Chains A and B, each alone.
Chain A
Amino acid sequence: MSLTANSSRDTVPGSTTLWLESARKHRFALTLVFLLILPWLMPYEALAVNILIMGLYALGFNLVFGYTGLLSFGHAAFLGTGAYACGIAIATYGIGWFGGIVIGTAVATLTAAVMGVLAIRTRGIYFAMVTLALSMCVYYGLYQMQWLTGGENGLRGVNVKTISVLGLELPFINPTVKYYVVLAFVATAIWLFSRLLASPFGAVLEAIRENEERAKACGYDVARTKLVVFIISGAICGLAGALNALHLSIVPIETLHYTTSGQAVMMALLGGMGTFFGPFIGAATFLLIQDVASSMTNHWQLFVGMIFIGFVLFFPRGIWGSILHWLEGR
């Protein structure tokens, strides 16, 4: 496999500019700054919120894909169950918005645990296919449960007009307020993510990705570590799903489809897999290209496709990966 390992370059001495080192140390702060100003860079706020949520989704996926070397094709199941559980809690059972987010994340975590236990012993392309098959079972399962999920029509009525935070009523319907409320959750998640990577657990991940056999020989419980990573990744994607339900006020059944899993792969690859900031760059690029191209031409898929091909051929490290590589090469 040819995963772009970048964190191992942390130790490369010499010409690597000092500020790049410090940037890596403050990766969370720098990502946060980018996300704080994102709405000003985007044509409209709803798109910025989409980027935030899909970026978090790609970040969660990247933990499994870029940092551990497992190609999953079933992450839509976590985004989807997170969204449905949060949406159903709010729309059907009248639970508050915060409770909805907690429930959504919890249900997605549970789904990840079940899928992980079943899938983790397969490897390579078969891991991708088992996760794909299991996530499609989730898709068809929820599709058939029309009384609960709305089936093909999707779940409607996840309507949250105002939210109260510490006694303050915020108009969630205002797009700017909505963006920063969502950002608060996303920021918390990526801060935890950053801490995780810096912890001893992060070092184990790196060891597994570099050489699974050697990691095993060193006494690491590889299977269990992979399972834990898979579950954490599912939780992050579930949070993204719950936020998406609040953002769109609906949950489309398409959220669970394998094409949504494919999107995570595309965004991670486009941004630069195994990089901290890459998923957000990937999500922003992916959604922005589609948005801009589709408002200019009905044939937007032609251009999106060609851009993909161009990236694979000429920038295989992804956007952020290529930038890092170029900076390091100087």
Chain B
Amino acid sequence: MKTHSSTTRRNVLKGSAAAGVAALVSPQLFSIARAQTAPIRIGFPVPLTGPFGAEANDQVKAAQIAVKEFNDAGGFEGRLAELMVRDDKLNPGEAATRTLELIEKDKVNFIVGSLSAAVQLSINNVSKERGVIFNSISQSDAINEAKDWSKFTFHEALNPHITAGAVGRYAFGKFGKKVAFLTADYAYGHEMVRGFQRVGKDFGIDTVADIRHPIGATDYSAFLPRIQALQPDILCLCNFGRDQVISITQATEFGLKGKTKLVAPVLLYTARQAGGDAFEGVIGGTSYYWGLESQIPSAKALNDKFRAANGGAVPSDYGALGYAGVRSILEAVKAAKSTETEKVIAGMRGLKYDWYKGPQYYRACDHQSVQSVVIVESKHKDQKDKNDVFSVVSIEAPDEAKLRSCDELGHKA
């Protein structure tokens, strides 16, 4: 039996007959056609519980600001937006189930969310099969590639290739050519290494070690003596979250910082807060840091709204993405004057926007948001308050040439 049997007219008729019967016996017996005044529903699966709970809660708070803004301005033709938050528990299986719930039961118009490569790929697979727009707000290279991508897929976040590339361009010229890598052994880690290596070729770096550690490792002491013996100029920590906090803490403990500059492609705001003084001097990339407000008006605007709504707190990097992800979709609805999927896709493709970090737009072939990368250095002694953890050392302007080409990703020209 084949799945893709040729679709003859007879089969189609049979199929629709079966669908009709299914609709009749469906538990949602009276699924009323949505009226014009029905809310615009945005599904928002994020890992509220688990190790990234702090970031996820920040994402929700920021997304709610985008929704409130839209509704305060009257919505779209009287239709207000509604955010339907779900806990994906950082588990791709749970995320797939929740996405099915959002699409099949809650009949959401759009989906925004996720905070892990595996989870976003899972949500993407479920939503693209059902023709629902998904705007991903976490990092991954795979989601841009033709194999996973669909026209319903948008990627608001940076991806490892852009981030690692920007950090590499900044660091390799400044700190030396002898580079060691300590990498979490999964796709996301490998993608970051690839990003560094691509740039490293232009700089002529010498890779002295490329060590893979198991994801979620709690002890790095077994890797560190070897790295120390090699005395690299730069150690690139291609890992994320807790792994990063622990590996930086232990590298400091082993005294690596004496001769080696520590560099992380994605330096998390919350990880830095948890890691404390061990992070001092560590260089890294980020999509957003609240301190941008001194030079970018839209960042100041978002921070002020966030502070007002959350007792003076500032949005984190991933939090701010929750705002941007939701706002892009709602602005596209306004631009397209419709909530129909095809028209909103066209609306998003046409956006040239500056929601919170300077100018951005979606690249045509893979809907990757072309945007700036912020390079930050961790502070310690001269911190003004607990939020003042980074100094912005460089901003790499948005540039399509820094992305992997459409061709390389497998998209037809």
Q: Do A and B come into direct contact in the complex, CB within 8 Å? A: yes
A176→B27 contact, CB < 8 A: yes
Q: Can you identify 15 A-B contacts, CB atoms within 8 angstroms?
A: A44-B104, A153-B121, A154-B122, A156-B121, A164-B1, A169-B14, A169-B15, A171-B19, A177-B18, A177-B19, A249-B126, A255-B93, A295-B87, A298-B53, A301-B49
B187 touches A175 (CB 8 A): no
Of A154, A161, A174, A300, which is within 8 A of B22 by CB? A174
Contact of A153 among B22, B57, B129, B142 (CB under 8 A): B142
B101 touches A250 (CB 8 A): no
Which residues of B are found within 8 Å of A301, using beta-carbon distances?
Answer: 49
Q: How many A-B residue pairs have CB under 8 A?
A: 144
Contact present for A177 and B22 (CB under 8 Å): yes
Q: Given A153-B118, A159-B125, output 7 extra A-B contacts at Cβ < 8 Å.
A: A171-B15, A173-B130, A248-B122, A249-B129, A250-B93, A252-B96, A254-B91
A50 within 8 A of B: yes
Interface string of B99-129 (1 = CB under 8 A from A): 0110011000000000001100110111001
Q: Does B122 lie within 8 Å of A45, measured CB to CB? A: no
Question: Which residues in B have their C-beta under 8 angstroms from that of A50?
Answer: 97
Which residues between 147 and 166 of chain A lie within 8 Å of chain B, taking CB atoms?
150-154, 156-157, 159-165
Cβ of A248 and Cβ of B89 under 8 Å apart? Answer: no
Contact of A156 among B3, B86, B122, B186 (CB under 8 A): B122
Q: Are B49 and A298 in contact (CB under 8 A)?
A: yes
> At the interface, yes or no: B394 with Cβ under 8 Å from chain A?
no
Q: Is B92 an interface residue (CB 8 A)?
A: yes
A252's nearest neighbour on chain B, judged by CB, is B92
Of A152, A177, A294, the most chain B CB neighbours within 10 A belong to A152
> Which of B23, B100, B188 has most A Cβ within 10 Å?
B100
- Does A168 contact B121, Cβ atoms closer than 8 Å? no
Q: Find B89's partner among A146, A175, A294 (CB 8 Å cutoff).
A: A294
Q: Do A151 and B2 contact each other (CB < 8 Å), given the known contacts A39-B27, A44-B101?
A: no
Report the bound CA distance from A118 to B92 in whole Å: 32
Residues from chain A with Cβ under 8 Å of B49 in the complex? 294, 298, 300-301
A9 CA to B140 CA in the complex, in Å? Answer: 57
Nearest neighbor of B56 in chain A, beta-carbon distance: A298
Q: Are B117 and A152 in contact (CB under 8 A)?
A: yes
A248 with B15: in contact, given A45-B27, A152-B215, A295-B86 (CB under 8 Å)?
no
A96 to B4, CA, bound (A): 8
**Which residues between 146 and 193 of chain B lie within 8 Å of chain A, taking CB atoms?**
147-148, 186-188
The reply to whether A152 and B118 form a contact with Cβ atoms under 8 Å apart is yes
Kindly report which residue of chain B lies nearest to residue A257, judged by CB atoms. B91
CB-CB < 8 A to B7: which residues of A? 169
Report chain A residues within 8 Å CB of B87.
Answer: 294-295, 298, 300
Inter-subunit contact B122/A250 (CB<8 Å): yes
A40 beta carbon closer than 8 Å to chain B: yes
**Does B294 sit at the interface, judged by CB under 8 A?**
no
Contact A153 B117, beta carbon cutoff 8 Å? yes
For window 208-245 of A, CB contacts with B under 8 Å fall at: 244
**Do A254 and B92 touch across chains, with their CB atoms under 8 A apart?**
yes
A295–B43 CA distance with the chains assembled, in angstroms: 13
Residues of B participating in the A interface, judged by any CB pair closer than 8 Å: 1-5, 7, 11-12, 14-15, 18-19, 22-23, 25-27, 48-49, 53, 57, 86-87, 89, 91-93, 96-97, 100-101, 104-105, 117-118, 121-122, 124-126, 129-130, 140, 142, 147-148, 186-188, 215
Q: Give A134 to B7 CA distance when docked, in angstroms.
A: 45
Please report the C-alpha to C-alpha distance between residue A43 and residue B104 in the assembled complex, in whole angstroms: 11
B186, closest chain A residue (CB): A152
Give the complex CA separation of A152 and B105 in angstroms.
29
**B1 pairs with A45, CB closer than 8 A:** no
Interface residues of A (CB under 8 A from B): 39-40, 43-47, 50, 90, 94, 96-99, 146, 150-154, 156-157, 159-165, 167-171, 173-177, 244, 248-250, 252-255, 294-295, 298, 300-301
Contact between chains at B148 and A156 (CB < 8 Å): yes
Q: How far is the CB of B104 from chain A (nearest CB, A)?
A: 5
Q: Are A153 and B101 in contact (CB under 8 A)?
A: no
B97 touches A164 (CB 8 A): no
Q: Is the CB of A249 within 8 A of B1?
A: no
In angstroms, how far is the closest chain A Cβ from the Cβ of B276? 25
Known: A153-B121, A154-B121. A163 touches B3 (CB 8 A): yes
Which residues does chain B contribute within 8 Å of A157, judged by CB atoms? 125, 147-148
Contact B26 A96 (CB under 8 A): no
- Beyond A96-B3, A298-B53, whether A248 also contacts B93 by CB under 8 A is yes
How far in angstroms is the closest Cβ of chain B from A313? Answer: 25
Task: For residue A163, give the distance in angstroms from its CB to the closest CB of chain B.
Answer: 7
Q: Chain A contacts of B140 at CB under 8 A?
A: 153
Closest CB of chain B to A72's CB: distance in Å? 21
Contact, CB under 8 Å: B3 / A90: yes
Q: Which residues of A contact B23 (CB under 8 A)?
A: 174
For A159, list chain B residues within 8 Å (CB). Answer: 125, 129
On chain A, the residues within 8 Å of B105 by CB distance are 43-46
- Complex CA distance for A34 and B141, rounded to whole angstroms: 45
Q: How far is the CA of A152 from the CA of B142 in the complex (A)?
A: 12
Question: Cβ of A161: which chain B residues have Cβ within 8 Å of it?
Answer: 3, 129
CB distance from A54 to the nearest CB of B (A): 10
Cα–Cα distance between A176 and B18 once the two chains are bound (Å): 11
| A168 and B18 in contact, given A45-B27, A152-B186, A160-B3 (Cβ under 8 angstroms) | yes
Of A39, A250, A301, which is in contact with the most chain B CB atoms at under 10 Å from its CB?
Answer: A250
Evaluate contact between B92 and A151: CB separation under 8 angstroms.
no
Known: A46-B101, A152-B186. A40 touches B27 (CB 8 A): yes
Does A154 contact B1, Cβ atoms closer than 8 Å?
no
**With A90-B3, A298-B87: A169-B11 Cβ-Cβ less than 8 Å:** yes
Complex CA distance for A165 and B129, rounded to whole angstroms = 21
- Contact partners of A90 in chain B: CB under 8 A: 3
The verdict on A46 contacting B186 (CB below 8 Å), with A156-B121, A168-B14, A250-B92 known, is no
Evaluate whether A47 and B18 lie within 8 angstroms (CB atoms) in the complex, with A162-B3, A252-B122 already known. Answer: no
